[in-house]
């Protein structure tokens, strides 16, 4: 180990080895804290190592950890293809172009939907309970330190001060719970595991060799708990994921005893518990893993190390990512209040640091639920307490999964995109079958959902599922990763998926009869009813599809040029791109959502999805500086939609207003997002119910207010709200390989520091002032904005 690293670990160990109670009472600015026990799940605090997660309730009398393992999903490998689909495709298209949308709806529903009609849910693993039997306590506090990724609980009972520290380490792959008290012999509790899954809980007995007199004897003692089971059946697909959770209890002093499935620790001085969990999932078509072997190995690896060391390397691994971005929007006395109280009062003003906390909480969440080698963040990240969660807690890819990764690149967490990249590459495999069976097409396609099994068929019903753009949109996230890092090896890895996504559309786009533009059909503008139909969203060529395709095709052209491959394909793509429908401005001055100008006839004018505004954000086809007329049309559409919507839809609006350079409008939306109606006491986003996309979209919106880097420009403070007159940010990333620090005072940029990672040229912008910058790799440039 290099000596500087050793020194750093040493410092961390010293800091973390402070006397009992101190860590919990040490409030740092980046700590969520509460003076009451979590009663509801959305009050509990999330910890996670990208694979293994827990919600910590923190009761003094009873600790409750609700546990998750990211590969514990219902069902098993399956193929949702519907072999009836292809035969009716021409008729469905004919009906749609003839304006017979409701007939098309019926035919799609009868013949084209995936089998089964719904995908598989992500499920809870179960619960660990520690019953302390404590009643009256004083000085109760629980918290979550975002910087160390440690949750703590502390309180005083009968004159004894107790402390609990909990963390999920990505290094040793276990959850660690450390129980201490400021007097010896005070820690007594019973531990048990429960689950709604089909599973069996038992006590683990271990043996130790002792010598009694001269005779060596083997003594059995209870050392932990085991939970063993199988993920559920769902929608006709039998459960195929075997899982095992193991808890090891290691007590200093006192005694450990057991009955059938409960462990009792009595009068210990200190106790460390280790939780491991694993499943048999290897990949979407292989569930032959050995969860017991994995869990045993993880427990024995972790439990042989001292607690301080586990904690130090855990914190270090987290901080390697977390500490890259520092945001300062100002601090006030409001920070002394518990986090739930601050959320209630945020809209009253005077607490700018809560925005910083919200921003860093999202970065914390992404690090905890999407680490290299794991699964991508689901609708609930990693945290779900149900067997039948809302929308199955899976991947909704008509906005939600994409939004989950919006803060990754600018928030300097590019590594966290790896699970998404892997999922998309796997979907390119499963989606090739859907493309062939459903459309007779080359390449691959995914519709509006996917799951652990990488299902790509149209699900739920025609009005939601009959949308072939999910894979193409996900490719845009991967391309964005490339734009930030410009790693050619990464581009080579993702290019086949991008190419396959494009090939599907080269084979399936059709000419619409009026202008002969190339359009998707059947499709829909996500979840929004077609105003020309009675009761369906089915249509041809909604604006969003064309916008996604314009990006996909352009990215394929650029990628194949960079990689020097596929000349003939490039020609094909370029020619199809010129024949796509244009962006259209309608009679009300709005950006048209559909081919026809009918936005104002929509039955829900305030629909949560703002799909046609994809062109403004996350795409940059519409831009204040380069396409002001279209930007004005997008603004009109946004005004028509209104500011308040579900959590994620509010967050999308926030990003869009930031792209329109209206910081105060964006801020008003942010105030709503960070109010009790869209943020739970534990800071989880409320759709409602809990959905993590709003947290991620919210963090991305904050960054869009401070820095934008689309279209080869670094825009400093493009939408700074008057609520943040003075502040600074360090470590944001920008497209083209730049790391940017900004400082501002009285609403004016005072210093931009640009670290050039790749040696690219870029235009800097501060309001109307622009400056062209040539850089060299490794160079740092300072600009005062003039």
Query: Which of 180, 197, 223, 396 is the binder for ligand FUC (CB under 6 A)?
Result: 396
Residues 474-533 that bind ligand FUC (CB under 6 A): 527
Size of the site for ligand FUC (CB under 6 A): 10
- Give alpha helix (H) positions in 352-417: 352-369, 400-404
Are the C-beta atoms of residues 782 and 753 closer than 8 Å to each other? yes
Closer CB to ligand FUC, residue 647 or residue 737? 647
Least gap, CB of 687 to ligand FUC (angstroms)? 6
How many whole angstroms separate alpha carbon 690 and alpha carbon 674? 14
CA-based radius of gyration for the chain: 27
Residue 608 as a binder of ligand FUC (CB under 6 A): the answer is: yes
Closer CB to ligand FUC, residue 384 or residue 646? 646
> Count of residues for the chain?
786
Closer CB to ligand FUC, residue 400 or residue 503? 400
Closer CB to ligand FUC, residue 253 or residue 531? 531
How many whole angstroms separate alpha carbon 609 and alpha carbon 529? 11
Q: Which of 500, 497, 469 lies closest to 481 in space, CA to CA? A: 497
Least gap, CB of 245 to ligand FUC (angstroms)? 28
Farthest-apart Cα atoms in the chain, separation: 98
- Bridge partner residues of 378 (DSSP): 381
Residue 391 as a binder of ligand FUC (CB under 6 A): the answer is: yes
Closer CB to ligand FUC, residue 527 or residue 545? 527
Q: Which of 633, 628, 517, 509 lies closest to 582 in space, CA to CA? A: 517
What binding mask, one character per residue, do residues 552-571 give for ligand FUC by CB under 6 A, x or -?
A: --------------------
Q: Which of 702, 696, 767, 716 lies closest to 370 in space, CA to CA? A: 696
Are the C-beta atoms of residues 455 and 396 closer than 8 Å to each other? no
Least gap, CB of 448 to ligand FUC (angstroms)? 7
Least gap, CB of 70 to ligand FUC (angstroms)? 18
Residue 404 as a binder of ligand FUC (CB under 6 A): the answer is: no
Closer CB to ligand FUC, residue 145 or residue 611? 611
How many whole angstroms separate alpha carbon 469 and alpha carbon 363? 28
What binding mask, one character per residue, do residues 57-96 give for ligand FUC by CB under 6 A, x or -?
A: ----------------------------------------
Are the C-beta atoms of residues 374 and 51 closer than 8 Å to each other? yes
Residue 537 as a binder of ligand FUC (CB under 6 A): the answer is: no
How many whole angstroms separate alpha carbon 576 and alpha carbon 560? 16
Least gap, CB of 400 to ligand FUC (angstroms)? 5
Query: Which of 646, 679, 708, 775 is the binder for ligand FUC (CB under 6 A)?
Result: 646
Least gap, CB of 570 to ligand FUC (angstroms)? 35
Closer CB to ligand FUC, residue 66 or residue 396? 396
How many whole angstroms separate alpha carbon 243 and alpha carbon 266? 30
Closer CB to ligand FUC, residue 400 or residue 756? 400
Least gap, CB of 691 to ligand FUC (angstroms)? 6
Query: Which of 546, 691, 695, 775 is the binder for ligand FUC (CB under 6 A)?
Result: 691
Residue 400 as a binder of ligand FUC (CB under 6 A): the answer is: yes
Are the C-beta atoms of residues 279 and 71 closer than 8 Å to each other? yes
Least gap, CB of 650 to ligand FUC (angstroms)? 11
What single-letter DSSP state applies at residue 120? P
Residue 172 as a binder of ligand FUC (CB under 6 A): the answer is: no
Count of beta carbons in the 10 Å neighbourhood of residue 513:
10
Closer CB to ligand FUC, residue 556 or residue 654? 654
- Bridge partner residues of 143 (DSSP): 33, 152
Closer CB to ligand FUC, residue 170 or residue 542? 542
Query: Which of 144, 299, 379, 413 is the binder for ligand FUC (CB under 6 A)?
Result: 379
- Bridge partner residues of 166 (DSSP): 151, 177
Closer CB to ligand FUC, residue 527 or residue 671? 527
Are the C-beta atoms of residues 82 and 114 closer than 8 Å to each other? yes
Least gap, CB of 612 to ligand FUC (angstroms)? 15
The sign of the torsion formed by the CA atoms of 559, 561, 566, 568 equals: positive
Least gap, CB of 54 to ligand FUC (angstroms)? 23
Closer CB to ligand FUC, residue 95 or residue 455? 455
- Answer whether the bond into residue 178 is a cis peptide, omega within 30°: no
How many whole angstroms separate alpha carbon 464 and alpha carbon 470? 12
Residue 653 as a binder of ligand FUC (CB under 6 A): the answer is: no
User: Containing H/E element for 369?
Assistant: helix 352-369
Closer CB to ligand FUC, residue 608 or residue 661? 608
Query: Which of 481, 641, 687, 733 is the binder for ligand FUC (CB under 6 A)?
Result: 687
SS3 209: strand
Least gap, CB of 398 to ligand FUC (angstroms)? 6
Contacts (Cβ under 8 Å, ≥6 apart) of 319: 147, 148
- Cβ burial 47-63 (10 Å sphere, 16+ → b, else e): bbbbbbbbbbbbbbebb
Least gap, CB of 601 to ligand FUC (angstroms)? 21
Please give the order of strands across the beta sheet that includes 62-69: 45-48, 52-56, 62-69, 126-131, 187-194, 262-268, 255-258
Least gap, CB of 647 to ligand FUC (angstroms)? 8
Residues that bind ligand FUC (CB under 6 A): 379, 391, 396, 400, 527, 608, 646, 648, 687, 691
């Amino acid at each position: 180990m290099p000596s500087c690293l050793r020194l750093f670990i040493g410092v961390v160990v010293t800091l973390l080895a402070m006397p009992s109670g101190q860590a919990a009472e040490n409030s740092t600015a980046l700590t969520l804290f509460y003076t009451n026990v979590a009663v509801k799940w959305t009050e509990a605090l999330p910890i996670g190592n990208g694979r293994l997660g827990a919600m910590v309730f923190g009761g003094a009398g009873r600790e409750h950890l609700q546990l998750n393992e990211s590969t514990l999903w219902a069902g098993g490998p399956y193929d949702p293809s519907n072999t009836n689909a292809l035969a009716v495709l021409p008729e469905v298209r004919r009906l749609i172009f003839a304006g017979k949308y409701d007939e098309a709806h019926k035919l799609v529903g009868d013949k084209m939907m995936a089998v089964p009609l719904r995908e598989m849910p992500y499920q809870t693993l179960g619960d660990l309970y520690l019953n302390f039997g404590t009643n009256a306590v004083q000085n109760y506090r629980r918290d979550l330190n975002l910087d160390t990724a440690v949750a703590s609980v502390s309180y005083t009972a009968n004159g004894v001060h107790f402390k609990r520290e909990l963390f999920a380490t990505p290094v040793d792959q276990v959850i660690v719970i450390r129980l201490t008290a400021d007097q010896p012999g005070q820690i007594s509790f019973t531990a048990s595991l429960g689950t709604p899954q089909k599973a069996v809980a038992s006590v683990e007995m271990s043996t130790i060799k002792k010598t009694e007199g001269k005779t060596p004897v083997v003594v059995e003692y209870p050392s932990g708990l085991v939970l063993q089971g199988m993920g559920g059946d769902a929608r006709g697909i039998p459960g195929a994921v075997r899982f095992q959770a193991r808890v090891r209890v290691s007590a200093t002093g006192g005694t450990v005893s057991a009955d059938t499935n409960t462990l009792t620790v009595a009068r210990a001085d200190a106790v460390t518990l280790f939780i491991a969990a694993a499943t048999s999932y290897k990949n979407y078509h292989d569930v032959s893993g050995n969860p017991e072997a994995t869990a045993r190995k993880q427990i024995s690896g972790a439990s042989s190390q001292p607690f301080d060391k586990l904690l130090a390397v855990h914190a270090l691994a987290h901080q390697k990512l977390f500490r890259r971005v520092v945001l300062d929007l100002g601090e006030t006395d409001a920070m002394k209040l518990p986090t739930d109280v601050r959320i209630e009062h945020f809209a009253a003003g005077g607490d700018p640091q809560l925005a910083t906390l919200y921003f860093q909480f999202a970065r914390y969440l992404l690090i905890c639920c999407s680490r290299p080698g794991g699964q991508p963040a689901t609708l609930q990240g990693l945290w779900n307490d149900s067997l039948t969660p809302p929308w199955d807690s899976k991947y909704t890819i008509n906005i939600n999964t994409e939004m989950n990764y919006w803060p990754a690149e600018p928030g300097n967490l590019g590594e966290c995109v790896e699970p998404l990249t892997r999922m998309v590459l796997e979907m390119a495999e499963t989606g090739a079958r859907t493309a062939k069976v459903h459309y007779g097409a080359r390449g691959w396609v995914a519709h509006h959902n996917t799951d652990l099994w990488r299902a790509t068929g149209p699900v739920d019903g025609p009005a939601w599922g009959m949308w072939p753009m999910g894979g193409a949109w996900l490719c845009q996230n991967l391309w964005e990763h490339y734009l930030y890092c410009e790693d050619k090896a990464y581009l080579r890895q993702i290019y086949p998926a991008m190419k396959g996504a494009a090939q599907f559309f080269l084979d399936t786009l059709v000419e619409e009869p009026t202008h002969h533009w190339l359009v998707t059909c059947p499709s829909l503008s996500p979840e929004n009813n077609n105003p020309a139909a009675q009761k369906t969203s089915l249509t041809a060529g909604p604006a969003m599809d064309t916008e996604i395709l314009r990006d996909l095709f352009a990215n394929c052209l650029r990628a194949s040029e960079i990689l020097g491959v596929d000349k003939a394909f490039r020609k094909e793509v370029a020619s199809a791109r010129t024949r796509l429908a244009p962006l259209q401005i309608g009679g009300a001055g709005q950006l048209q959502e559909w081919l026809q100008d009918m936005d104002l006839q929509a039955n829900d004018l305030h629909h949560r999805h703002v799909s046609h505004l994809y062109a403004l954000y996350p795409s940059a086809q519409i831009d204040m500086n380069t396409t002001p007329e279209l930007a004005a049309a997008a603004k009109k559409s946004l005004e028509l939609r209104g500011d308040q919507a579900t959590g994620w839809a509010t967050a999308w609006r926030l990003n869009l207003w930031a792209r329109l350079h209206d910081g105060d409008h964006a801020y008003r939306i942010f105030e709503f997002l960070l109010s009790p109606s869209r943020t739970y006491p534990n800071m989880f986003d409320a759709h409602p119910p809990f959905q993590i996309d709003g947290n991620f979209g919210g963090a991305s919106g904050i960054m869009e207010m401070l820095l934008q880097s689309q279209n080869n420009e670094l825009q400093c403070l493009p939408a700074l709200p008057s609520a943040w007159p003075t502040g600074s940010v360090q470590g944001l990333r920008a497209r083209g390989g730049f790391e940017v620090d900004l400082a501002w005072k009285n609403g004016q940029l005072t210093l931009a520091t640009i670290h050039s990672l790749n040696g690219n040229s870029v235009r800097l912008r501060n309001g109307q002032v622009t400056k062209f910058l040539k850089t060299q790799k490794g160079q740092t440039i300072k600009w005062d904005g003039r």
